[in-house]
């Protein structure tokens, strides 16, 4: 009995010494890390989400692991691994083609390791890890590895809104679009855990040495409406196919607040596959491409001429009967003849009539504090937002090209007759639609915005974007008269150039444009940027929609035949979707 008792006491003493070592000596041992009782691992701080105005997720980050083929893995030689059926098993497990796996495992592949995809399904990740550890059954897999957990950016709608969203590069930083503009707000901060493990490498949670919680990035809510975006991208795609055009842009803006409900640019790309495209394809041409807009600028010319008191609605302009007008030794052609007023100049898109207004605005106006030639004309267009960035919250916005009247060599005798026509001036699509929104909201030049608000991951409000008024270049009276005159372009007269923009339920005030594209200092007579910008309902404006199609190649190539019907294809549907009340009477709808 004494012998048995002695053995039991020795066993208890051994256990006691082990406990003292594990709980007292080891945690204070300088060689603690080397003895592999502890480890530090990362807790992911995920990048914030990007959502539309209604909370629809447009971009989000999830945790995932890279799936890598290692064709030199020694475990491939195990008798428990079937090399013939392995590619099919892996393909079924991961959800990629068997051919890709066979190619990666082939000796013809010069690289030892090949990343095939990123897995975000935790169940699949755990199954792969478990089946890699099995060493005595035929259920084992080999030749694969799973990376450490990392943040994976996902875009649920694929290519939709790609130029606005941008993408996240391989370094985890935002490039282009919202991803770059709000990179600091979106970026999360990783946490960490310094943990202690038992003999079977299981973490003892109660014995964690230290723990730093991760901080997820803020969520960005846009003014974009995902359904509106779908409508305009679908219509734009159809228009590019129908008219064999190279590219196009549609922008939908709320005239009273400057909010952008939709911004479509085609061709597009998938943000998750950005590296398969050239850098030029990433740019949002709605804000980063300047072009000569053509006749859509005539509405701006007439509006500012009325505002400055240079013309009246009843003033008569004799554009002649020959269809050509010479000034400064250069001909200006027109399809309008005889005597016209401002309404006819807009309705029929008279080049000569608009040029005459431009010359009147180019005269010195000392009574208005603008004694220099061209000063009044330049300041009028500048007040409407041309020549400088709008300030929208997107990277890559251009100023456009509209030289100051003081700059030598940039203005000549011909310039004031061409700028009012949309030539000798380059603008961006966002500048144009914002100028028309100014006409639609009673004369206030708003700063276009694509940001609704910023919230923390937990939903706490960080910032709410308020409408920003940048100036008031037009009076309400001038805007009301312009809305009435611009209706003659689309609906009040069948002679209007924008008749095909007419809507069944809404009155439309708008203007067409067919801008020639300059090449090597001369205008190309076969390539055009064709546009239509409409404000509706014209009696109580809510939205301004711009449609620009670049280089249509079909049988028709004018703004009235290409851009105007594309506007009609989206405006009616968007109006009903947003619940905008119709302003046409049933009798009007039948007649139209």
3-state class of 388 per DSSP? Answer: coil
DSSP 276: G
Q: What is the pLDDT of residue 135?
A: 72
Residue 185 phi, psi dihedral angles, 5° rounding: -75, -35
Nearest to 513 by CA among 563, 565, 568, 559: 559
226-236 as b/e: b if 16+ CB within 10 A: bbbbebbbebb
Its CATH architecture, for the domain 226-591, is 3-Layer(aba) Sandwich (3.40)
pLDDT range class, residue 591, cuts 50, 70, 90? very low
Task: Please answer whether residues 285 and 306 qualify as being in contact, where contact means their C-beta atoms are separated by less than 8 angstroms.
Answer: no
Q: What pLDDT, in 10s, does the model give residues 506-525? A: 999 999 998 888 777 777 77
In the predicted structure, residue 176 carries a pLDDT above the cut 80: yes
With a cut of 80, say whether residue 34 has pLDDT above it.
Answer: no
* Average predicted confidence (pLDDT) for the chain: 90
Radius of gyration of the chain (CA): 33
Angstrom distance (rounded) from CA 468 to CA 296: 25
Average pLDDT value for residue range 293-318: 95
pLDDT band at 35 (very low <50, low <70, confident <90, very high): low
3-state secondary structure of 137: coil
Is the pLDDT confidence value at 36 over 70?
Answer: no
Q: Would you say 437 and 258 are in contact if contact means Cβ atoms under 8 Å apart?
A: yes
How far apart are the C-alpha atoms of 82 and 95, rounded to whole Å? Answer: 19
Average pLDDT of the segment spanning 213-239: 96
**Can you give the pLDDT at residue 344?**
93
Decide if 559 contacts 295 (C-beta within 8 A).
yes
Among residues of the chain, what percentage have pLDDT more than 70? 95
Topology annotation, domain 37-70+105-121+143-222: Penicillin-binding protein 2a (Domain 2) (3.90.1310)
pLDDT at 199: 66
Residues 326-343, mean pLDDT to the nearest whole number: 93
- Tell me, what's the pLDDT at 30? 55
Q: Are 566 and 552 in contact (CB under 8 A)?
A: no
Report the alpha-carbon distance of residue 192 to residue 188 in Å, rounded. Answer: 13
Q: What is the mean pLDDT of residues 234-251?
A: 95
> Who contacts 28 (Cβ-Cβ below 8 Å, separation ≥6)?
none
Pull the structure tokens for residue 366.
């000392």
Residue-level pLDDT at 517:
84
Tens of pLDDT, residue by residue over 446-499, are 999 999 999 999 999 999 999 999 999 999 999 999 999 999 998 765 667 888
Band (590; pLDDT cuts 50, 70, 90): very low
Q: What pLDDT does residue 592 have?
A: 46
Per-domain residue ranges of the chain: 37-70+105-121+143-222, 226-591
User: What's the pLDDT tens digit per position in 559-570?
Assistant: 999 999 999 999
Give, for 262, the enclosing helix (H) or strand (E): strand 260-266
Please report the pLDDT score of residue 95 as a whole number. 87
The 8-class DSSP code of residue 339 comes to E
Q: Kindly report, residue by residue over 100-153, the tens digit of the pLDDT.
A: 888 888 888 888 888 888 888 888 888 888 888 777 777 788 888 888 888 889
How much is the pLDDT for 197?
Answer: 78
Tens digit of each residue's pLDDT (9 = 90 or more) over 188-225: 999 988 888 776 667 887 878 888 999 999 999 999 99
Q: Are 261 and 252 in contact (CB under 8 A)?
A: yes
Which structure tokens are listed for 102? 């066979």
Instruction: Indicate the pTM of the whole model.
Output: 0.87
The string over 43-78, giving b where at least 16 C-beta atoms fall within 10 Å of a residue's C-beta and e elsewhere, is bbbbbbbbbbbeeeebbbbeebbbbbbbeebeebee
- Residue 263 pLDDT grade (very low, low, confident, very high; cuts 50, 70, 90): very high
Residue 55 DSSP symbol: S
Rounded to whole angstroms, the Cα distance separating 185 from 455 reads: 10
Mean pLDDT of all residues in 532-556: 94
pLDDT tens by residue, 45-97: 999 999 999 999 999 998 888 889 888 888 888 878 888 888 888 888 888 88
Read off φ and ψ for residue 343, nearest 5 degrees: -60, -45
- Token digits of residue 227: 């359904």
Query: Phi and psi of 85, rounded to 5°?
Result: -95, -10
């Amino acid at each position: 009995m004494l012998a048995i008792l002695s053995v039991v006491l020795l066993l208890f003493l051994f256990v006691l010494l082990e406990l003292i070592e594990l709980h007292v000596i080891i945690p204070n041992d300088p060689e603690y890390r080397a003895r592999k009782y502890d480890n530090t691992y990362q807790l992911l701080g995920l990048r914030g989400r990007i959502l539309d105005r209604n909370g629809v997720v447009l971009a989000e980050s999830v945790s995932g692991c890279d799936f890598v083929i290692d064709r030199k893995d020694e475990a491939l030689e195990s008798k428990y691994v079937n090399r013939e059926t392995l590619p099919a098993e892996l393909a079924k497990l991961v959800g990629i083609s068997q051919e890709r796996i066979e190619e990666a495992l082939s000796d013809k592949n010069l690289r030892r390791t090949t990343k095939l995809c990123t897995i975000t399904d935790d169940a699949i990740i755990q199954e792969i890890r478990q089946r890699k550890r099995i060493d005595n059954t035929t259920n084992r897999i080999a030749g694969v590895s799973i990376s450490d957990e990392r943040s994976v950016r996902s875009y649920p709608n694929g290519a939709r809104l790609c130029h606005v969203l941008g993408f996240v590069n391989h370094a985890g930083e935002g490039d282009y679009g919202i991803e770059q503009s709000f990179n600091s707000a979106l970026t999360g901060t990783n946490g960490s855990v310094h943990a202690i493990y038992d003999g079977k490498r299981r973490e003892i949670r109660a014995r964690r040495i230290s723990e730093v919680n991760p901080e997820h990035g803020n969520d960005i809510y846009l003014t974009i409406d995902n359904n509106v975006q779908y409508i305009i991208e679908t219509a734009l795609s159809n228009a590019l196919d129908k008219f064999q055009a190279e590219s196009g842009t549609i922008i939908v803006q709320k005239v009273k607040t400057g909010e952008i409900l939709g911004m479509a640019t085609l061709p597009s790309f998938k943000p998750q596959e950005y590296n398969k495209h050239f850098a030029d394809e990433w740019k949002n041409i709605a804000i980063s491409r300047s072009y000569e807009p053509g006749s859509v600028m005539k509405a701006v010319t007439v509006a500012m001429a009325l505002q400055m008191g240079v013309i009246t609605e009843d003033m008569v302009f004799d554009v002649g009967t020959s269809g050509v007008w010479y000034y400064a030794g250069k001909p200006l052609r027109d399809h309008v003849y005889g005597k016209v007023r401002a309404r006819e100049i807009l309705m029929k898109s008279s080049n000569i009539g608009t040029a005459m207004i431009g010359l009147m605005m180019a005269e010195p106006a000392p009574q208005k504090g603008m004694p220099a030639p061209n000063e009044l004309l330049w300041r009028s267009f500048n007040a409407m937002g041309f020549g400088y960035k709008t300030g929208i919250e997107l990277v890559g916005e251009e100023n456009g090209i509209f030289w100051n009247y003081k700059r030598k060599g940039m203005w000549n005798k011909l310039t004031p007759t061409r700028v009012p026509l949309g030539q000798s001036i380059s603008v961006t699509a966002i500048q144009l639609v914002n100028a028309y929104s100014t006409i639609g909201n009673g004369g206030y030049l708003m700063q276009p915005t694509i940001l609704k608000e910023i919230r923390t991951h937990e939903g706490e409000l960080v910032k709410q974007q308020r409408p920003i008024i940048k100036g008031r270049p037009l009076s309400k009276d001038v805007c009301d008269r312009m809305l009435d005159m611009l209706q003659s372009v689309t609906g009040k007269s069948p002679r209007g150039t924008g008749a095909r923009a007419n809507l069944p339920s809404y009155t439309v005030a708008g203007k067409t444009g067919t801008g020639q594209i300059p090449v090597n200092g001369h205008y190309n007579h076969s390539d055009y940027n064709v546009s239509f910008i409409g404000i509706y309902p014209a009696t109580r404006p809510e939205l301004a929609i711009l449609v620009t199609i670049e280089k249509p190649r079909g049988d028709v190539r004018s703004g009235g035949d290409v851009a105007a019907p594309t506007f009609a294809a989206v405006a009616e549907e968007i109006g009903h979707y947003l619940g905008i009340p119709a302003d046409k009477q049933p009798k009007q709808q039948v007649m139209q």
